[in-house]
Chains A and B, each alone.
Chain A
C-alpha cells in the first residue's frame, strides 16, 4: 500500500484483538509469571478470566480454608504445581490447639481427581498422613516435586510409598517436619533404575538410614544438586558421599562432630576440595571446632550458610565465617556474639539476609554477649542487607534509629527482645521512637515484628507509614484499643496480622470490620476480646470465618456462653468456602 508499517495481507482484516481465540491469550498469559499479574489479567474481562484460569500452571493457596479444594481444582484445571498452607503462623510456637485442622487429605483427594498431570505439591503447616503420601504416589504419573514444611502426621512408611511409586521424582524436600520413625528402610525403595533425583533433604528425620543404600542412590543420581542429611550420618561417611557427588550445590551435613583424627580430617578436606560447585551449607554442628578448617576451601564460594543449629562459638567460628566473603545469607546462633557480628560486618559485604537465633531462650541471665551492637555493625557495613531476624536481650532507640538511617532498604525486619516489655536500657523509655524510625525510613518494608516496651505511639507510626507492609507481628505491646485501631485503619497493604498478649479489645475490631475482608487473616490471642464482639463481627461480615478457641478444658458449646465471656484466641480469615466442618471441640466458628 505505501503506508509504512502496514501489514502484509491487505485483503482479509485481522480479527479485532478482543475476539482473538482463547489459545492466543493463554499463550500471552504464560509470560506473566507472577500470580498477582495473572490475577490482574483475569479481572479485566470475562474472556481473559476464562483464558487465564484455564491456563494457570502454578497455584498458591495461602490459607487452605479460604477456598475448597474442589473450587480450586474446578477453577484452575491445568495446574501442574500447587502449594497449600494450613495452620496460622503462631502454630509454630504452640499457640494453636494441636488438633486445629489443616488436613492435607482433602487437597490430595481433589488433586488426584482433577489434576492427574500434577507434578509438584507443597504443603506447609498441614497434617499430612501416610495415606496422603500413598495417594500422591499412586495418582500422578509424572509427579516430580514433593515439599513438606513444618508438617506432621506421617511416618517413614509414607516416604516409602513415595520412593517406590514416584518414578520421575526430582525433589524430595522435607523441612522441619515431625516424622514418625517406623524403622522402614524407605530409601531402599527407590528402584535401582531410579536416577532422576536433584534434591534430597531428609535432615529432619530422626532415625537411621542405610548408608550403603544412600551411597548407591547418590552415585547413580548424577544430577543431584541438593543433599541434606540427618544426624545419623557420621563424618567419615560424609566424606565418601561427597566424593560420589562432587557436583553438589547445596549440602546439609547433619551431625558434624567427632573426635579429632588427622586421617578423617584429611579425608574431609580432600572431599570438600572436590566440591567446586558447593554454594549453600548447613548442618547441626556440635561444639567441637577441630574439623572446621576442612571446609576452608569451599568458604569463598559459599553464598548461603545456615549454622542456626550449630553450637559452635569462639574464634574458630569467626575465622570460618570471615573467609566466606560472598555470603548472601547467614543464619547463626547468638553464640557468635557482637564481636563475631563485627567480623561478619567487615568480611561479608554482600550479605542480604541475617538471622540470629537464641541459643538459650529461657535463660534469664543471658550468658551470651549479643546486643544491639551486633545489628548496628552489620547494618552499617552491609549495603545489600534487606532481611533481618534478630533475637537479643537489650536494645536502644538510638541503635534502631541508626539502623534505620543506615539501611532504608529493609524489606523484612523482625526484632525479638527476649524479655517482654523491655524498655530502652539506657533511657528507660519505650522503644516507640526506634521502631517508628524503621517504618518511616524503610519504605519497602513488607514484613515487621516488634517487641520490647511499646505504647500506642508506635502503632500510629506503623499505620501511617507502612504502606507496603503485608505481615505484622505484635506481642506484649500497646496500651489501649487505639493501638489496634491505628493498624487496622492504616497499613494499606496489610495481609496478615498476628497479635498476642496486647490490651486490644472489641472496639477497634468492630470499627474496622471491613478491613478484615481485605486481609488474608487476623490472629489475636490473650487480648481483651469478648464473645459478643466476635458474634457481631461474624454477623456483619458473612465472608469472614470467625474462629474462637478457648482453653480446651472449657470446650462447652458456645451457645451457652454470654456475650461478656472473654475470648482467649481468635482467628479470622476471609473465605469463599463458608464455615469449615472439621473443627475440633476446642474450636468453634461463631
Chain B
C-alpha cells in the first residue's frame, strides 16, 4: 500500500473479513474470496448505523417475489422521496412540471376547479422573491394546506438570509435592516395583496407569485401598487 498515509487509528491489516456478521445480515452471497485488507470496524454505534443502512437492501433482496406480488395486487403506495432523487436537474423538473400541468389543463378544461388543486397531484409552482435576497425561489403551493405551513416553509427557505439573531428566531427579517417583513402576492388580476386575507384555497387558486418585502414598504398596500416589481432597471 505504498503512498497511503496510514494513520494510527485506521489499523490497516491483512486478514479475512472479520465483520462477517454484517455480511451475513445482508443475506447476499458475500465475499467468498479472500479480501486483501481489512479496515477495523469502528465503534458499535457506527456498526449499528452501517447495519441499519444495509438492512433495507437486504430486505429487498430476500423478498423480491413478495414485493412484486404485493405491487401487482394493490396500487403502489406513495413512497417517501429522498431529496434530490432521482437525479433530475431542478431546472428540468420545474420545466416538466409546468408542461405536464399545462397539458392536463388543456386536456380537461371542464374538470378544472380552483378547490380541486389543493392536495391534488398537480402542482402550483409560483416564484418567491425576497427583497434583498440575490435570487428567486419557487414553491409549490399545493404542497401546503394552510398559511401556517406556507409560512414555515418560506422561513426555512429564506432563513439563510436572516441575521440569525436569536430574538427574531420565529420570524423572517430583512437581511439588511433587521426590520420585519411581510409576504405579499400578485393575484390573477395583477394586483398585489397581503397574504392571509382570503381563504387558503382561494389564495392558492389566484396566486401568481409571492414577494417578501419590508413591512414599511407594504403600508397602504392597495390594488394600485402592482407596478413595484416592474420598476427595476
The reply to whether A183 and B99 contact each other, CB–CB distance below 8 Å, is: no
When distances are taken between beta carbons in the complex, the residues of chain A under 8 Å from B96 are: 309, 359
Say yes or no: A311 contacts B100, CB within 8 Å.
yes
Whole-angstrom distance from the CB of B46 to the nearest CB of chain A?
6
Minimum distance in angstroms from B142 CB to a CB of chain A: 14
Inter-chain contact B232/A507, CB cutoff 8 Å:
no
- Identity of the chain B residue whose Cβ is nearest the Cβ of A105 in the assembled complex: B134
Q: A127-B135, A359-B96 are in contact. Are A512 and B4 (CB under 8 A)?
A: yes
Among candidates A358, A507, A586, residue contacting B10 with C-beta atoms closer than 8 Å = A507
Contact B103 A176 (CB under 8 A): no
B61 CB contact (under 8 Å) in A94, A99, A430, A473: A430
Known A98-B160, A364-B76, A420-B85; contact A540-B5, beta-carbon cutoff 8 A = yes
Question: When the two chains form their complex, are residues B88 and A357 in contact, meaning their CB atoms are under 8 A apart?
Answer: yes
CB nearest neighbor in A for B50: A503
Q: Which of A452-476 contact B (CB under 8 A)?
A: 453, 455-457, 473, 475
Q: Is A40 an interface residue (CB 8 A)?
A: no
Contact mask for chain A residues 552-590; partner B; CB cutoff 8 A; 1 contact, 0 none: 110100000000000000000000000000001110000
The residue that B88 contacts in the complex, of A98, A358, A428, A511, with Cβ under 8 A, is A358
B136 touches A152 (CB 8 A): yes
Chain B residues positioned under 8 Å from A404 (CB to CB): none
Q: What distance in Å separates the Cβ of B228 from its nearest Cβ neighbour in chain A? A: 11
| B170 interface residue (CB < 8 Å to A) | no
B-contact bits for A525-544, CB 8 A (1 contact / 0 none): 00010000000100010000
A296 beta carbon closer than 8 Å to chain B: no
Contact of B87 among A93, A422, A489 (CB under 8 A): A93
Using Cβ atoms and an 8 Å threshold, which residues of chain B touch A422? Answer: 60
B160 engages A585 (CB within 8 Å): yes
Interface size, chain B (Cβ < 8 Å): 73
Given the complex, which residues of A lie within 8 Å of B5, measured CB to CB?
A: 511-514, 540
Cα distance A93–B87 when bound, in Å? 6
CB atoms of B134 and A428 under 8 A apart: no
- Whole-angstrom CA separation of A95 from B156 in the bound complex: 15
Interface-facing stretch out of A29-37, A73-81, A477-485: A477-485
Query: B109: CB under 8 A from chain A?
Result: no
B28 within 8 A of A: yes
Are A505 and B50 neighbours in the complex by a CB distance under 8 Å? yes
Contact A528 B49 (CB under 8 A): yes
Give A27 to B156 CA distance when docked, in angstroms: 55
A90 to B90, CA, bound (A): 10
Interface residues on A, range: 35 or more
The verdict on A421 contacting chain B, using a C-beta distance below 8 Å, is yes
Known contacts: A362-B81, A485-B39, A552-B160. The answer to whether A423 contacts B86 by CB under 8 A is no
Interface pair B86/A416, CB less than 8 Å apart: yes
The reply to whether B88 and A182 form a contact with Cβ atoms under 8 Å apart is no
Assess whether A418 is in contact with B160, with CB atoms less than 8 Å apart: no
Which residues between 47 and 100 of chain B lie within 8 Å of chain A, taking CB atoms? 49-50, 53-54, 56-57, 60-61, 64, 75-79, 81-93, 95-96, 99-100
User: A397 to nearest B CB, angstroms?
Assistant: 13
Measured CB to CB, the closest approach of chain B to A371, in angstroms, equals 15
Q: How far is the CB of A233 from chain B (nearest CB, A)?
A: 16
Q: Assess whether A418 is in contact with B12, with CB atoms less than 8 Å apart.
A: no
Is B60 within 8 A of A423, CB to CB?
Answer: yes
Q: Which residue of A lies closest to B127 (CB)?
A: A180
Residues of B within 8 A of A500 (CB): 84
A127 near B4 with CB under 8 A, answer: no
Question: By the criterion CB–CB under 8 Å, are B88 and A361 in contact?
Answer: yes
Query: In whole angstroms, how far apart are the Cα atoms of A514 and B10 in the complex?
Result: 14
Contact, CB under 8 Å: B22 / A479:
yes
Q: Does A263 contact B (CB under 8 A)?
A: no
Asked whether, in the complex, the Cβ of A94 is within 8 Å of the Cβ of B90, the reply is yes
Bound Cα distance from A204 to B95, whole angstroms = 9
A510 at the interface (CB under 8 A from B): yes
User: What separation, in Å, do the CA atoms of A414 and B154 have in the docked complex?
Assistant: 35
B4, A284: Cβ atoms closer than 8 Å: no
Is there an interface contact between A428 and B61, defined as CB atoms closer than 8 Å?
Answer: yes
Taken residue by residue from 152 to 196, chain A's Cβ proximity to chain B (1 for < 8 Å, 0 otherwise) reads as: 110101001000000000000000101010111000000000000
Residue B167 lies at the interface, judged by CB distance under 8 Å to chain A: no
CA distance A357 to B91 in the complex (A): 13
Instruction: Give chain B residues whose Cβ lies under 8 Å from the Cβ of A150.
Output: 89, 91
Residues of B within 8 A of A23 (CB): none
* CB < 8 Å neighbour of B35 from A160, A482, A501, A507: A482
**In the complex, what's the smallest C-beta–C-beta distance from B150 to chain A, in angstroms?**
18
Please name all residues of chain A whose beta carbon is closer than 8 Å to the beta carbon of B198 when the two chains form the complex. Answer: none
Q: Identify A528's interface contact among B1, B46, B56, CB under 8 A.
A: B46
Whole-angstrom CA separation of A456 from B33 in the bound complex: 13
In the bound complex, residues from chain A placing their C-beta under 8 Å from that of B30 are 455
Q: Which of B9, B86, B90, B92 contacts A418 (CB 8 A)?
A: B86
Please determine whether B135 and A584 come into contact, CB atoms closer than 8 angstroms.
no
In the complex the two chains form, what is the Cα distance from A516 to B42 in whole Å?
22
Q: Is A440's beta carbon under 8 Å from chain B? A: no
Shortest A137–chain B CB gap in Å is 14
Contact B39 A482 (CB under 8 A): yes
Q: Does B183 contact A (CB under 8 A)?
A: no
Provide the bound-state CA to CA distance between A586 and B158, in Å: 12
CB of B19 within 8 Å of the partner chain: yes
Task: Write the chain A residue with the least CB distance to B106.
Answer: A286
- A479's contact among B39, B57, B75, B81, by CB below 8 Å, is which? B57
Q: Is the CB of B232 within 8 A of A155?
A: yes
Query: What is the bound-complex CA distance between A248 and B193, given in angstroms?
Result: 46
* Contact, CB under 8 Å: A176 / B91: yes
12 A-B contacts (beta carbon < 8 Å) = A98-B137, A183-B230, A359-B96, A362-B81, A364-B79, A422-B60, A428-B64, A481-B39, A481-B41, A503-B53, A511-B4, A512-B5
10 A-B pairs with the lowest CB-CB distances in the bound complex, closest first: A93-B84, A99-B160, A364-B76, A503-B53, A153-B135, A503-B50, A152-B135, A511-B10, A176-B91, A92-B89
**B residues within 8 Å of A by Cβ?**
1, 3-7, 9-10, 12, 19, 22-23, 26, 28-31, 35, 38-42, 46, 49-50, 53-54, 56-57, 60-61, 64, 75-79, 81-93, 95-96, 99-100, 102-103, 127, 129, 134-137, 156-157, 159-161, 164, 229-230, 232-233
